[in-house]
Amino acid sequence: MKKLPVKKADIILAAFLCLAAFLLLLVGGIQGRHQDALWVRGYLDGKCVCEYPIDCDIKTTIRTPDQNGSNVLVIDQKKVYIASADCPGQDCVKMGIITKSGEELICLPHKLVIRIEGGDNAIDAISQ
């Protein structure tokens, strides 16, 4: 006499473990793709003045000597925004949060551009 019910349970368990392992691999693969290095770079009058990896949580003040101004840049859990600035209009603060490669925060009065670079997007290659 064979003990069929036990064997069936073993097969189901093995199949379940295989599926679980497969799903773990799949999720791991997707997360790996998202971890392409992204950088947050600050440009003052076209010159790169600072850069930070997007996964560092910082709050820093970028000074713009020519305009005697300052912008407070925040990177918080891969969200990038300007928390405060002393420019007229506060457009850069109102621009809100950027998270993706190629997105920019621009402070026109201070000639300051905060841009997320790297990852899959190669935006620079397109511009002529």
Question: Amino acid identity of 71?
Answer: N
**Is 75 among the residues that bind Zn ion (CB under 5 A)?**
no
**Is 107 among the residues that bind Zn ion (CB under 5 A)?**
yes
Cα separation of 69 and 86, whole Å? 6
**DSSP secondary-structure letter at 30?**
H
**Is 113 among the residues that bind Zn ion (CB under 5 A)?**
no
Q: How far is the CB of 105 from Zn ion (least distance, A)?
A: 9
Among 38, 44, 85, 98, binds Zn ion (CB under 5 A): 85
27 by DSSP, 3-state: which? helix
Q: How far is the CB of 87 from Zn ion (least distance, A)?
A: 3
**Is 105 among the residues that bind Zn ion (CB under 5 A)?**
no
Cα separation of 65 and 12, whole Å? 69
**Is 116 among the residues that bind Zn ion (CB under 5 A)?**
no
Provide the residue count of the chain: 128
**Of residues 14-73, those binding Zn ion (CB under 5 A):** none
Q: How far is the CB of 118 from Zn ion (least distance, A)?
A: 24
Cα separation of 90 and 30, whole Å? 38
**Is 80 among the residues that bind Zn ion (CB under 5 A)?**
no
Choices 12-20, 21-29, 51-59, 86-94; region in contact with Zn ion by CB under 5 A: 86-94
Partnered with residue 28 across adjacent β-strands are none
73 by DSSP, 3-state: which? strand
| Positions that interact with Zn ion (CB under 5 A) | 85, 87, 92, 107
